Amino acid sequence: MRRIAVLDAPSNLGLRPPTPTAVPGCAKAPGALRDQGLLARLRARDAGCLTPPRYDPGDWRPGDGVCHAPEIAAYSAALADRIGAIIDRGEFPLVLGGDCSILLGSALAMHRLGEAVGGRIGLVFVDGHSDFRHPGNASYVGAAAGEDLALVTGRGQADLAAIEGRRPYFRDIDVVVLGIRAQDEYRLDLQAAGITTRPVPALRAEGAARTAQWAHEELADCAGYWVHVDVDVLDPAVMPAVDAPDAGGIAFAELEILLAGLVDTPHCLGVELTVFDPDYDVDGAYAAEIVNTVVAGLAPVTAPSAVPPRLLPAAPETRLPPAAPETRLVPAAPEPRLPPGSRPFPAPERLSPAGPAGSDGPAVDPLAAAVDPLAADLSAAAGAPPAVAGAPTDPPAGPDRTRGGPVGPAGRVDDAGLVAGYPPGPTGTAPLLEPVGPPASAGPGLLRRVTGAPPGDAPPPPEDGAPPRPAAGIA
């Protein structure tokens, strides 16, 4: 079971005045709906009221941009805070407008939420009008309530379309528009933008329940979605108490079924209700009808089987698997070029450390040094001079960006400087470092330090009277 929290957002800042000296009546809608027992019937928590700034168009003229833009921007940020707090409590927000400009606050809250969960939030826009007017398709803009869908999809002036630097709040492909009239002025612009629509004729042909399921499927790649309901989606024959009634809408029963289908999933994050104007509802009959429809439509939210909101992980943009992280490898030594007629050098593990009699330490085989410069470096660290003319005797040290040790010839890790501090082997000499891995022709192998022969690994017999070598420990 999910608990509903009702929040009043009685803003009329997005509407033109009905007459030069009047103020739009949408600001009275939350009070009128509460008077019909909405909260008690929903068993909802009262989340309070966010009081809007004063409605005052002043000397606004066409060409000045959206009227009340600074006030709407500030109010939207505050409304987003309140909606976010409700969702954080695990509750289902029902926001009572006000005009359609409150969608900017809801959209901002959804974009914040999507960023927090690492996914996209979608929008189901149930409205009798597309509200898609913007500078790209109209000579001028002015009333945000007629431009709200354009603004929340990133079209229009930045102080409203990019609050907090977020733009767009909803991507075009994450919006589903339901209930617009077949002759809507901006229907072709919606189609060109890739915004999915189902006008009233198609909605009725498919049925309200199937339309709700279809909308849910259209937003399957989103982590969740928000539902906007403008009551002017209803036909004026049953709901004339709106600022811009337009014939050809749906009935109360259809709206109830549509709403119930949209909220009957944990992926629905909340609902807002807009544009009801009590100034045109003298006896409260239309307010009562709205409350009956909302209570029945939100019944799945408060049903015992309802589960708390669950945000889906974001679906990838493409169906390709994610790219594996880049692997940084140690550069391989160049393949040795042996003199003509020479025999291939034996595998490293078959080398004998014995050198000429009378030498001060083990000598380095010149051919071994030619094949693997690192072997010469290690022998030099043990006290023997390198036998290859021109070979560096003191390789520069520096951080290796792949393994973190000193850098030897050809950019490989050089452990020669670590031999002196390592415990001596069984013969008292410096521990033997054995290359482990592919033969020299395939590049250098890994080096492992050994302290002596491990159990069960006898050292090889000495050759030509040379002192015995410790066994190589290969792990």
Residue 317 lies inside a defined structural domain of this protein: no
Per DSSP, the three-state class of 463 is coil
**Both 256 and 331 in a single domain?**
no
Using one digit for the tens of pLDDT, what is the confidence trace for 124-163? 999 999 999 999 999 999 999 999 999 999 999 999 999 9
Q: What is the pLDDT of residue 333?
A: 55
Using one digit for the tens of pLDDT, what is the confidence trace for 273-332? 999 999 999 999 999 999 999 999 999 999 988 777 666 554 454 445 555 555 555 555
Q: What is the pLDDT of residue 448?
A: 38
**Both 216 and 356 in a single domain?**
no
As a whole number, mean pLDDT of residues 241-270 equals 97
Q: What is the pLDDT of residue 307?
A: 72
Range of the domain at 56: 4-302
Of the given ranges (255-259, 413-417, 431-435), which has the lowest mean pLDDT? 413-417
In sequence order, which residues have a C-beta less than 8 Å from that of residue 68 and are 6 or more positions away?
13, 14, 53, 55, 56, 57, 144
Q: What is the pLDDT of residue 178?
A: 98
Question: Which band of pLDDT confidence, cut at 50, 70 and 90, is reported for residue 263?
Answer: very high
Instruction: Please give the share of the chain, as a percent, with pLDDT higher than 70.
Output: 65
**Both 296 and 331 in a single domain?**
no
Query: Which residue among 302, 335, 368 closes a domain?
Result: 302
Instruction: Read off φ and ψ for residue 371, nearest 5 degrees.
Output: -80, -40
As a whole number, mean pLDDT of residues 113-118 equals 96
Higher pLDDT, 445 or 45: 45
Q: What is the pLDDT of residue 278?
A: 98
Domain count, the chain: 2
Instruction: Read off φ and ψ for residue 412, nearest 5 degrees.
Output: -95, 160
Per DSSP, the three-state class of 361 is coil
Q: How far apart are CA 374 and CA 399, in angstroms?
A: 17
Q: How far apart are CA 102 and CA 29, in angstroms?
A: 13
Whether the pLDDT of residue 457 is over 50: the answer is no
Instruction: Read off φ and ψ for residue 183, nearest 5 degrees.
Output: -100, 25
Average per-residue pLDDT in the chain?
79
**Both 66 and 128 in a single domain?**
yes
CATH assignment at residue 120: 3.40.800.10
Q: What is the pLDDT of residue 20?
A: 87
**Both 266 and 346 in a single domain?**
no
Whether the pLDDT of residue 435 is over 60: the answer is no
Of the given ranges (29-43, 360-374, 432-446, 449-463), which has the lowest mean pLDDT? 432-446
Q: What is the pLDDT of residue 390?
A: 43
Residue 311 lies inside a defined structural domain of this protein: no
**Both 213 and 141 in a single domain?**
yes
**Both 152 and 261 in a single domain?**
yes
Question: Which band of pLDDT confidence, cut at 50, 70 and 90, is reported for residue 81?
Answer: very high
Q: How far apart are CA 326 and CA 160, in angstroms?
A: 41
**Both 340 and 291 in a single domain?**
no
| pTM, entire model | 0.67
> For the chain, percent helix, then strand, then coil, each to nearest 5?
35, 10, 55
**Both 334 and 283 in a single domain?**
no
Q: How far apart are CA 302 and CA 136, in angstroms?
A: 43
Residue 187 lies inside a defined structural domain of this protein: yes
**Both 108 and 185 in a single domain?**
yes
Residue 310 lies inside a defined structural domain of this protein: no
Of the given ranges (9-23, 295-309, 380-394), which has the lowest mean pLDDT? 380-394
**Both 83 and 217 in a single domain?**
yes
Residue 319 lies inside a defined structural domain of this protein: no
**Both 297 and 211 in a single domain?**
yes
Residue 312 lies inside a defined structural domain of this protein: no
Of the given ranges (161-170, 244-253, 256-265, 348-357), which has the lowest mean pLDDT? 348-357
As a whole number, mean pLDDT of residues 456-474 equals 47
Instruction: List, in sequence order, the alpha helices (H) in 272-352.
Output: 285-297, 299-302
Query: Which residue among 286, 302, 318 closes a domain?
Result: 302
Residue 227 lies inside a defined structural domain of this protein: yes
Query: Which residue among 239, 269, 302 closes a domain?
Result: 302
Residue 131 lies inside a defined structural domain of this protein: yes
